[in-house]
Structure 1
Amino acid sequence: MGGQASAVEGVHVVVVGGGFGGIAAAQQLKSQGLSFTLIDMRDAFHHNVAALRASVQPGFARRTFIPYADTFGDSFVQGRVEQVDTNRQTVILEGGREILYSHLILCTGTDGAFPGKYNTVASYQTAIQAYDDFATQVQTADSVLVVGGGSTGVEMAAEIKTEYPEKKVVLIHSRIGLADPALLPSVRQEAKQVLLEKGVELLLGQKVPNLSELQLNVTRKNTVVTTDKGTTLTTDLIICCIGLKVNSAAYASSFSGCLADDGALKVNAHLQVEGFSNVFAVGDCANVNEPKMAYHAGLHAAVAVTNITNSLNDKELTSYRTGNITMLLAMGHNDGVGQFNGWKLPRCLVTFGKSRDLLLWKSWREMEQKQP
């Protein structure tokens, strides 16, 4: 089955998805001596909080991938989960391999367009090359169009304009307000202010209706783009920062009765999937009313693992409670906006706390490895 000998006979926890929630759960299981298997499509953890900087700084990407096996050894298995057989308590991988579980933690996260996401079966060397190749496309372009003004789009535009202030960068967004709607209005306004200060041009309240017909992530000089409002612009490179969706492929067929409209799993206060006392959902794939963030995934993982150990020891289960929103946006390496526990933070504090290093140190420390 993989994993180490369990301190509790018959217990084997399978963690599906090695994102922020997955590695947090795996580390806690490891520290408690519980047998577990962590499964992910890649062979390295992707610190995708730094994916956008890896898109503009050649060579940066190698710092954003941390090999699983160096941390978890034989408790890590690379593969794509195709199905969960809840009757046999078995996870079935592409190719037919089966892994039995006594408890299951689903941490499949969200999927979206590259470069914000890199969800594919691949080696981390392949992934690093993909980011370095993308950075070359950004270097080659004289003008860039970023489609989508949520948090990812805002950070993407800021990263490009910070690294290449001479490039023309246009951000188009279907709404008037930028960044995550869960943020304080004053923080969202400050994000807009930072972009304008950096020289990013904003086209708000407009869409690119034929986005699917346009070539993305490849420099094509003087590509003409027309918005739904008739605005025409010429650009060399188009980057899509919209379309984020819950990555439900691994579990949708097995838990069809427990799915929310967006594909997330309905959970109770203990983060147990509805109808299953031994199955937990963590992070973006849990139907919890809060922004999809790495920070929250770590909190979910702690609750899930605690409840597994509590259930084994006949103790009362702990509950997860949402709190005031904490969210930091890196606006390039030299600026940032955000809020902590519902309070707006000074830009210099966000810059110092997140923007300079994008919290890479934290993931390398959690994975017990040394950053290159």
Structure 2
Amino acid sequence: MMDSHNQGARSTANPFKVLIAGGCYSGLAAAINLLDKCDSALDARIPVHITIVDERSGFCTPRHRLPLALSDKGYADKCWVDFADVKILQRPDVRFVHGRVQKVDPATRTATIRESASEADSTETYDYFIAATGLRRAWPIVPQSLTRKTYLLEAGRHIDAVRGSKHPVLVVGGGAVGIEMAAELKMMAPDVRVTLAHSRAKLLSAEPLPDDVKDRALELVREAGVEALMEHRLLSALPLKPEGELGHADSGYEVEFTNGHKMTASVVIEAISRSVPSTDYLPPAALDAESGLVNIRPTMQIKAAGGGGEEGVIPNADRHFAIGDLINWSGIKRCGAAMHEGRFAGLNIHQLMLQELSLASSSSSSPERDEKHVPEFQELAEIPPMIGLAVGKKGLSYGPDVGMKSGEDVLKLFFEDDLGFRIVWDYLRLGQDPVKV
């Protein structure tokens, strides 16, 4: 049966409408891969219009590159790329909206969007929806700025405070971000004393990794010149001077840990995730009750929390996808997995488009075009624990099939000399000229 939501033949005047909430790794990967398939259709290009909504005005990959961006002003300038400068998506069938998706109604396939400039709400209809808004994380794990200009000011203030420090710089939290942050700060400012404090006996304690990987991470941190305080849980950090003087030579914090240890720090950087899924715009039936993450099928399509064939609780669930850090799936949250999931979402939406087009053709009076397309979906497999970590001038990697490796060659392989900026940029082809439509 023809879909009553958007009846009529598909054309440039009546394209498939795809709404993507989130313009980071996974969201951009979904858009680019979907456009690739629509552009290369054998009979004729599939008409599609993609709207990408993001609270930020540009592409910024905080967890992956922020440690270096908060250590080097030159790199900070490179780290944020406005969406207007993402060349491959500068085409008339792609629109970027600087704002936030407030609510999604799967039954009517409409979304309420609040644009940042006007703070006014608008309604957007869609044929397919992709949730790719990730997790909300505190500074400095992610920048709180929503524009490039304010981001550079935010990063610059932080860098000046670190480089002007009289006392040690304290990084709290021995997860991947804390480790990379501490090591990058020490590498970019060798004269600054950097201390990494972690509440547990081993670094990376929240990750399902072998102990030898965690032990090697600690060795690399210390080899980078960072002092590591294990089993030190932060109790308080009280300013020695009123706020606003951070960065002056005589300013800083009196820090106390729950084990009684005290120290003075010029800057305290809390690299503890405290991440909250950015999923409040989705219906509760789509979310895991405990984590707030989105329940999905291996096809990246949303499923109801109850599972077991209860997908009907969410109307049009087949047309709603979720990818990236906000999904309830196995594995450590990584940019590589996010881009992989985005690719699958784009390919699977293309399959659904082909199905709809074949159904429309078979309902016409053309007997030679009565073959119905059966979607061939890409399915996400279970993701085992794996990690790539940049620790100063050396890298650490682990995968169940290859085991653990570390050294300068590992850093070069996984991150090159810019924490992976070029690798991601080229993989997504963000600087490639767009296809003319």
Task: Give TM-score scaled by structure 1 length.
Answer: 0.90
How does 1:87-98 map onto structure 2 within 5 Å?
A: 87-94=107-114, 95-98=120-123
What's the CA shift string for 1:108-134, capped at 9, x where partnerless? Answer: 1122122220255x2212212221221
Aligned to 1:302: 343
Cα deviation per residue 1:258-302 (whole Å; 9 max; x = unaligned)?
A: 212222101112121113111111010110121111111011111
The 5-angstrom pairing of residues 156-235 of structure 1 reads 156-179=181-204, 181-210=207-236, 218-219=246-247, 221-235=251-265
Relative to structure 1, is the Cα distance of residues 236 and 81 closer, same or farther in structure 2, using a 3 angstrom cutoff? same
> How far apart are residue 256 of structure 1 and its match?
0.9
Q: In 2, distance between residues paired with 1:253 and 1:77? A: 16
CA positional deviation for 1:192 = 0.3
Give the structure 1 partner of residue 105 of structure 2: 85
1:358 alignment partner AA: L
Structure 1 unaligned residues grouped into runs of 5+ = none
2:424 to 340, 363, 366: 363
Q: Give distance in 2, aligned partners of 1:212 and 1:324.
A: 41
Q: Does 1:56 align with 2:61?
A: no
How many positions carry a matched residue from both structures? 362
Report how far residue 341 of structure 1 moved: 5.2
Q: Is the partner of 1:176 in helix, strand or coil? A: coil
Gap change, CA 1:13 and 1:83, over 3 Å in 2: same
* Distance of 1:46 and 1:253 partners within structure 2: 22
Moved over 3 A (4+): 5-10, 210-220, 323-326
Q: Return closer, same or farther for 1:217/1:227 CA change in 2, 3 Å cut-off.
A: farther
Q: Please, which of 17, 21, 37 is the counterpart of residue 51 of structure 2?
A: 37
Q: How many Å separate the matches in 1 of 2:244 and 2:171?
A: 10
Q: Is the 8 A contact 2:224 2:391 kept in 1?
A: no
Q: Which residue of 2 aligns with 1:17?
A: 22
Name the CA distance, whole Å, in 1 between partners of 2:184 and 2:333: 21
- Between stretches 313-322 and 150-159, larger displacement belongs to 313-322
What displacement does 1:367 show?
Answer: 4.6
Structure 2 CA distance for partners of 1:7 and 1:329, relative to 1, 3 Å = farther
* Per-residue deviation, 1:349: 2.4
Go from structure 1 to structure 2 and tell me whether the alpha carbon gap of 1:125 and 1:32 turns closer, same or farther (over 3 Å shift).
farther
Q: Return the offset for 1:230.
A: 0.9
Q: Deviations over 1:287-330 (max 9, x none)?
A: 01211111110111111112111222331322100244332111
Contact 2:252 2:264 in 1 (8 A): yes
| Cα distance change, pair 294–340 in 1 and its aligned pair in 2 (3 A) | same
Q: Distance in 2 between matches of 1:26 and 1:204?
A: 43
Query: Rg larger in 1 or in 2?
Result: 2
Cα 1:134–1:222, aligned 2, differ >3 Å: closer, same or farther? closer
- For the Cα contact (< 8 Å) 2:34–2:349, is it kept in 1? no
TM-score (norm 2): 0.77
Structure 1 residue 216, shift from structure 2 partner: 11
Structure 1 residue 10, shift from structure 2 partner: 4.8
* C-alpha contact (below 8 Å) 1:216/1:238 kept by paired residues: no
Asked whether the equivalents of residues 169 and 193 of structure 2 are also in contact (C-alpha less than 8 Å), the reply is yes
Match of 2:178 in 1: 153
> What's 1:105 paired with?
130
Is the Cα–Cα contact under 8 Å of residues 163 and 192 in structure 2 kept in the other structure? Answer: no
Q: Distance in 2 between matches of 1:140 and 1:241?
A: 20
Q: Structure 2: where are the runs of 5+ without partners?
A: 1-9, 39-47, 115-119, 304-310, 312-316, 356-373, 433-437
